[in-house]
């Protein structure tokens, strides 16, 4: 069972997401919130596996809340579900710790698959978002100045083999949260913002 929480200020969208998740085999909706402050207050108690998070919310923005949410639950998988498609928003969300990014026009079927994918270590993105990420990668295709550590190189090598965060964590005897931290450092050093970019750059520049 994958336990999912939702942070969305639009009542209709929030209710629709909750009904979709509750009615899907293998998924359970553990909490719904209209703002990040409420989610931060209760996320540790509810302990969801996946959080669907909007960006533009009353009070604290979704992006600003990511570090606090993951500080409470380091292994929480955060999937952005938003109307925003700007490069800046995408990059900020991914760098803050989000593992996936969908636009609100995403079909219910794709959303459900994305929840399963992100829980299994993937990084789901809507097609328009993926194209923007690829364009961003092409603009930043220069070699990183900071060398990767041995552990970062090991993790990058396993990403290139298509292994999930859980598989990497199990093989290296570390937690998924530690894997996520190493991958964030890899992103910064390679100037990328997704697993796909990191793998492409590793292969192109023979980093592993």
Look at residue 137 in the predicted model and tell me its pLDDT: 57
Q: Say if residue 154 is in the same domain as residue 104.
A: no
Q: Say if residue 151 is in the same domain as residue 123.
A: no
The CATH number of whichever domain residue 190 belongs to comes to: 1.10.10.10
Question: Of 136, 154, 170, which marks where a domain is finished?
Answer: 136
The CATH number of whichever domain residue 89 belongs to comes to: 3.40.50.2300
The two structure tokens encoding residue 170: 């199990």
pTM score, whole prediction: 0.67
Provide the sign of the torsion angle of the four alpha carbons 37, 38, 41, 43, taken in this order.
negative
Q: Say if residue 117 is in the same domain as residue 150.
A: no
pLDDT tens digit sequence for 163-203: 788 889 999 999 988 998 998 888 888 878 777 677 776 76
Tokens 């993926």 appear where?
Answer: 130
Q: Say if residue 125 is in the same domain as residue 149.
A: no
Task: Tell me whether strands 27-33 and 77-82 are parallel, antiparallel or unpaired.
Answer: unpaired
Q: Say if residue 185 is in the same domain as residue 122.
A: no
H or E stretch covering 122: none
CA angle 93, 72, 118 (to 5 degrees): 50
Look at residue 17 in the predicted model and tell me its pLDDT: 96
Q: Say if residue 96 is in the same domain as residue 179.
A: no
Nearest Cα neighbor of 73 from 170, 156, 3 is 3
Give me the number of domains the chain comprises.
Answer: 2
Task: Report the C-alpha gap between 180 and 114 in whole angstroms.
Answer: 18
Look at residue 128 in the predicted model and tell me its pLDDT: 76
Look at residue 187 in the predicted model and tell me its pLDDT: 86
Q: Say if residue 45 is in the same domain as residue 85.
A: yes
Question: Of 86, 110, 136, which marks where a domain is finished?
Answer: 136
Question: Of 136, 158, 191, which marks where a domain is finished?
Answer: 136
Look at residue 203 in the predicted model and tell me its pLDDT: 62
Q: Say if residue 157 is in the same domain as residue 194.
A: yes
pLDDT averaged per 10 residues, the chain (length 208) = 97 95 96 96 96 95 93 94 84 84 92 92 80 62 63 86 84 91 86 73 66
Q: Say if residue 20 is in the same domain as residue 96.
A: yes
Q: Say if residue 129 is in the same domain as residue 53.
A: yes
Domain span at 190 = 142-204
């Amino acid at each position: 069972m994958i336990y999912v929480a939702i942070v969305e200020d639009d009542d209709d969208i929030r209710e629709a997401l909750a009904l979709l998740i509750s009615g899907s085999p293998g998924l359970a909706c553990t909490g719904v919130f209209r703002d990040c402050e409420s989610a931060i207050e209760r996320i540790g108690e509810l302990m969801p596996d996946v959080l669907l998070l909007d960006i533009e919310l009353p009070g604290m923005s979704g992006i600003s809340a990511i570090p606090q949410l993951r500080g409470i639950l380091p292994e929480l998988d955060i999937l952005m579900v938003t109307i925003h498609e700007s490069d800046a928003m995408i990059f900020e969300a991914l760098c803050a710790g989000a593992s996936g990014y969908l636009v609100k026009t995403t079909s219910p079927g794709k959303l459900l698959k994305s929840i399963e994918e992100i829980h299994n270590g993937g990084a789901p993105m809507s097609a328009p978002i993926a194209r923007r990420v690829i364009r961003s990668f092409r603009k930043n295709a220069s070699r990183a100045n900071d060398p990767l550590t041995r552990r970062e190189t090991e993790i990058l090598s396993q990403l290139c083999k298509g292994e999930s965060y859980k598989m990497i964590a199990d093989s290296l005897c570390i937690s998924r949260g530690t894997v996520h931290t190493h991958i964030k450092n890899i992103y910064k050093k390679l100037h990328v913002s997704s697993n796909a970019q990191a793998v492409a750059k590793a292969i192109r520049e023979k980093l592993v």
